[in-house]
A and B are shown apart, each in its own frame.
Chain A
Amino acid sequence: MNLVINTLDELLAHAHELEREAVERYEDLAGQMEVHNQPELAELFHKMAAIEQQHVVKVESLAGSQPRPLAPWDYQWQTPESPESVPVGQGHYRMNPHQALTLVLACEERAEAFFAELAESTSDPAVREMAVQFAAEEKQHAELLKEWLARYPEPKADWWQDLDDPIAQE
């Protein structure tokens, strides 16, 4: 599916949904980490959610109101989900901050790629200008995340190992 966005309304709708879903997914992950006794990662994902929430607000202020939502399947994501969300199936109950930040970094990079591609493909100069700006912001976040990432060691080879079996629940 080719990316065709030629109005600011459409761009803002996409940007809004992208940030909103990122918030949702980070909150989901924060909850998962709380349930799995990873308070440090829970805090990290809450923090990411809060940052993305600021972006939601920013997009709303740019749009002047909450943009008109599209049907979930009408957004022109070039990925299975909106690009700034950690994809379903990612994450692990034993992951460490390095791995978590790697997931987050990938989100920022996908978002940057999305806006960059949008800027390239659009025929509308105003859309291009705003998309370029969004791409630059995402790139900036990505750079910041790379710095954070460098502070955390990579996981050990056996990071996923758990001496206990899973627990039967029902």
Chain B
Amino acid sequence: MNKAEPLIARYSHKDYKSAVKPIWCPGCGHFGVESSLFRALAYLELPPEQVAVVSGIGCSSRIPAYTQCYGFHGVHGRAPAVATGLKLARPELTVIVTSGDGDAFSIGGNHFIHACRRNVDMTLLVMDNEVYGMTKGQPSPTTPADWDSKIAPGGTGVNPFAPLAVALASGANFIARGFSGDPNGVARLLVEAIQHPGFSFVQVLSPCVTYRPEEKFWKKMVHSSSVEPTHDPAVAGHRLLSDDGFTTGVFYIGNRPTYTATVGTSDNDLSAIEEELAI
């Protein structure tokens, strides 16, 4: 967080926001997350053209087009893989994946796990509203087992999983949780996540006003972490597994080496390779 402060702000919100207006419902938590992202990027003074926002499918995944950054809006659940390819090809870019609980944890679960494990330098920002919004309110992997819905009357009967604990077990190098109603707090988490080398995972609890109106009470349930982030996965694991899911803050800061198999300067002389084949 040590940074020489400029006399005037080089970048602000408007430098990162595109002319495309979000289709999110008014009142959606994602508006707060969008603000947080822009504040974090402005704080880090990242030129918009040096930032790539990669997403999959869902409400949260609409963000790339709402930014002035480079964006990639791909298929459902696979954004971490796209981001991996992009970051390895262009290591100088700041790569941010924006995703939701269905996109990242359900259809994209395998990529989530392996992105944590691979530890490429990028930030995964998951806007978790515990519901599928784009398809009209189906339960996601983080929805409580007893949440009643059309597709699962009386609830799914399936316990939600703990994404932060999964990320820790999979090897993510930075793990934090924020709340969309606290955009400056989320901005701070994002700044730390982007600055920390390797794969950073930030879950942001972001209420869905349309399908989960009860989530507006989340603002009364969230509480900030009273302890310092740990570098010890065992401590972080205990904390995450005994947490109520509403603690915000940084849970874990790891020091695993970043995956660095990046594409370098291309050599176009194939003669040595072709010579191997000569007979």
Report A's interface with B, CB cutoff 8 A: 20, 24-25, 28-29, 31-36, 65-66, 68-73, 75, 77, 80-81, 87-93, 95, 165-170
The count of chain B contact residues (Cβ–Cβ below 8 Å) is 45
Which residue of the partner chain, among B43, B134, B207, contacts A72 with CB atoms under 8 Å? Answer: B43
Contact (A92, B13) CB under 8 Å given A72-B39, A73-B184:
no
Q: Which residue of B lies closest to A30 (CB)?
A: B21
Which residue of the partner chain, among A24, A66, A93, contacts B26 with CB atoms under 8 Å? Answer: A93
Which residue of the partner chain, among B14, B26, B181, contacts A80 with CB atoms under 8 Å? Answer: B181
Q: Are B26 and A68 in contact (CB under 8 A)?
A: no
B residues within 8 A CB of A28?
Answer: 31, 35
- B residues 56-105 near A (Cβ < 8 Å) are 57-58
Q: Is B257 an interface residue (CB 8 A)?
A: no
Q: Is B271 an interface residue (CB 8 A)?
A: no
Q: Are B21 and A34 in contact (CB under 8 A)?
A: yes
Q: Are B21 and A32 in contact (CB under 8 A)?
A: yes
A residues within 8 A CB of B261?
Answer: none
Q: Are B185 and A73 in contact (CB under 8 A)?
A: yes
CA distance A79 to B149 in the complex (A): 34
Q: Is B198 an interface residue (CB 8 A)?
A: no
- B residues 173-215 near A (Cβ < 8 Å) are 180-185, 187-188, 191, 207, 209-211
B residues within 8 A CB of A77?
Answer: 184
Q: Are A68 and B134 in contact (CB under 8 A)?
A: no
B residues within 8 A CB of A72?
Answer: 39-40, 43, 183-184, 187-188
Chain B: minimal CB distance from A92 (Å) = 6
Q: Are B29 and A88 in contact (CB under 8 A)?
A: yes
Chain B: minimal CB distance from A85 (Å) = 9
* Beyond A70-B5, A87-B181, A88-B31, 4 extra complex contacts between A and B, CB < 8 Å: A35-B21, A68-B6, A77-B184, A168-B135
CA distance A132 to B31 in the complex (A): 32
Residue from A32, A93, A165 having most chain B Cβ neighbours under 10 A: A32
Q: Which residue of A lies closest to B190 (CB)?
A: A72
Q: Are A31 and B43 in contact (CB under 8 A)?
A: no
Q: Is B136 an interface residue (CB 8 A)?
A: yes
Which residue of the partner chain, among A24, A71, A73, A87, contacts B13 with CB atoms under 8 Å? Answer: A24
B residues within 8 A CB of A25?
Answer: 35
Q: Is B273 an interface residue (CB 8 A)?
A: no
Contact (A88, B5) CB under 8 Å given A32-B22, A169-B23, A170-B135:
no
Q: Which residue of A lies closest to B135 (CB)?
A: A168
Contact (A66, B9) CB under 8 Å given A73-B187, A88-B29, A89-B181:
yes
CA distance A90 to B145 in the complex (A): 28
Chain B: minimal CB distance from A12 (Å) = 13
Q: Are A80 and B23 in contact (CB under 8 A)?
A: no
A residues within 8 A CB of B183?
Answer: 72, 80-81, 88
Q: Are B134 and A169 in contact (CB under 8 A)?
A: yes
Which residue of the partner chain, among B6, B21, B134, B219, contacts A168 with CB atoms under 8 Å? Answer: B134
Q: Is B277 an interface residue (CB 8 A)?
A: no
B residues within 8 A CB of A90?
Answer: 27
Q: Are A20 and B12 in contact (CB under 8 A)?
A: yes
Q: Are B216 and A89 in contact (CB under 8 A)?
A: yes
Q: Are A81 and B184 in contact (CB under 8 A)?
A: yes
CA distance A168 to B26 in the complex (A): 17
| CB-based closest 9 A-B pairs | A88-B32, A170-B134, A91-B26, A31-B21, A72-B184, A73-B188, A32-B26, A72-B39, A72-B187
Q: Are B25 and A93 in contact (CB under 8 A)?
A: yes
A residues within 8 A CB of B9?
Answer: 66, 69
CA distance A90 to B183 in the complex (A): 14
Q: Is B1 an interface residue (CB 8 A)?
A: yes
CA distance A70 to B24 in the complex (A): 30
Q: Is B7 an interface residue (CB 8 A)?
A: yes
Chain A: minimal CB distance from B177 (Å) = 15
Chain B: minimal CB distance from A3 (Å) = 16
Q: Which residue of A lies closest to B38 (CB)?
A: A24
Q: Are A170 and B58 in contact (CB under 8 A)?
A: yes
B residues within 8 A CB of A75?
Answer: 184
CA distance A162 to B162 in the complex (A): 35
